[in-house]
């Protein structure tokens, strides 16, 4: 496992905003650099949130040219391509690698749903069509465990989307993640206090260590080589995609 600076600071811009959207001028390398400078970023995350954009009232729905727009930015800055709840497929992972990104955050289905977020916004604003789109696409996407395996294309992979505790994080590592991330779980703690966030992180670390102990794995690398048992929806997806062996034993 590679060592990273702690805390690793990640700046963030949207992929849809890198191409012209109607009258809106696209963002480019200058804005990307500015985003990094704003937070002292070590890495620039470019998020692919087209499911959200489809449901969003003011959504940017043009996708053509996005990969070409990521390329020059990835040539200059360390780019992490990330989904935001719909997961990354193998085709997309390979295209992103080709575009020069340095890592992939799978942002898989199973956690925060931005269709759901936009559903509630549309409901509040009385936008019936968008409300319906939000409801229909609430669970659109590739479940996180499947996206994790599909994104193994020789780049470090970050697992987000439904990671709720250290056991989930350990499962993610066993499926090939270099790191796991949590949004909603940490935000819930952050609403309480900074101490609650620290406590939550301590619990996650204790849970992760418990998995290492109980499985007899001495390192995260060993955990990543563990043989896996698949159940439920993960099993169904893996069978349907014909990746059962790859899922259980690694790529
Ligand atoms: C309130 C909220 C705001 C978010 N904003 C962004 C964002 O601006 N850019 C981004 O790439 N992801 C954003 N995310 C997505 C998270 O980074 C993460 O990929 C996703 O929520 C899945 O993790 P979770 O299931 O633990 O929430 C946001 C998530 C939440 C809950």
Per-residue pLDDT averaged across 8-15, rounded? 96
Which residue among 183, 184, 200 has the greatest number of ligand 1 atoms within 8 angstroms of its CB, and so is best to mutate? 183
Ramachandran quadrant class, 18 (left: phi over 0; alpha: psi -120 to 50; beta: rest): alpha
Q: Is the CB of 187 under 6 A from ligand 1?
A: yes
163 C-beta closer than 6 A to ligand 1: yes
pLDDT at 58: 82
Distance CA 173, CA 220 (A): 7
pLDDT for position 1 = 47
pLDDT of the residue at 5: 80
CA 215 / ligand 1 centre spacing (Å): 31
In angstroms, what is the span from residue 183 Cα to ligand 1's centroid?
Answer: 5
pLDDT for the residue 87: 98
Q: Per-residue pLDDT averaged across 122-144, rounded?
A: 96
Mutate to test the pocket of ligand 1, among 16, 50, 84 (most ligand atoms within 8 A of CB): 84
Q: How many residues does the chain have?
A: 251
Tell me how far apart the alpha carbons of residues 72 and 65 are, in angstroms, rounded to a whole number.
12
Residue owning the nearest CA to atom 22 of ligand 1: 161
pTM: 0.95
pLDDT of the residue at 249: 77
Q: What is the pLDDT of residue 248?
A: 84
* Mean pLDDT over the full length of the chain: 95
Would you place residue 3 in the very low, low, confident or very high pLDDT band (cuts 50, 70, 90)?
low
């Amino acid at each position: 496992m590679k060592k990273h600076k702690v805390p690793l600071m990640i700046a963030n811009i949207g992929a849809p905003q890198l191409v012209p959207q109607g009258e809106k001028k696209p963002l480019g390398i200058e804005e990307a650099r500015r985003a990094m400078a704003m937070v002292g970023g070590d890495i620039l995350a470019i998020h692919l949130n087209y499911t959200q954009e489809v449901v969003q009232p003011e959504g940017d729905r043009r996708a053509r040219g996005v990969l070409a727009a990521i390329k020059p930015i990835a040539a200059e800055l360390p780019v992490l391509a990330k989904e935001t709840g719909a997961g990354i497929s193998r085709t997309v992972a390979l295209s992103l690698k080709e575009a020069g990104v340095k890592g992939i955050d799978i942002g898989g289905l199973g956690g925060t749903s931005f269709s759901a977020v936009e559903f509630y916004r549309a409901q509040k604003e009385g936008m019936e069509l968008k409300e319906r789109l939000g409801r229909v696409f609430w669970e659109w996407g590739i479940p996180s465990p499947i996206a994790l395996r599909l994104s193994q294309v020789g780049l470090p992979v970050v697992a987000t989307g439904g990671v709720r505790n250290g056991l989930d994080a350990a499962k993610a590592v066993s499926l090939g993640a270099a790191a796991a991330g949590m949004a909603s779980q940490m935000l819930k703690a952050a609403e309480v206090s900074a101490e609650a966030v620290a406590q939550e992180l301590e619990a996650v670390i204790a849970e992760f260590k418990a998995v290492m102990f109980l499985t007899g794995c001495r390192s995260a690398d060993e955990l990543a080589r563990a043989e896996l048992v698949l159940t439920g929806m993960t099993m169904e997806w893996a069978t349907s995609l014909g990746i059962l062996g790859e899922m259980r034993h690694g790529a």
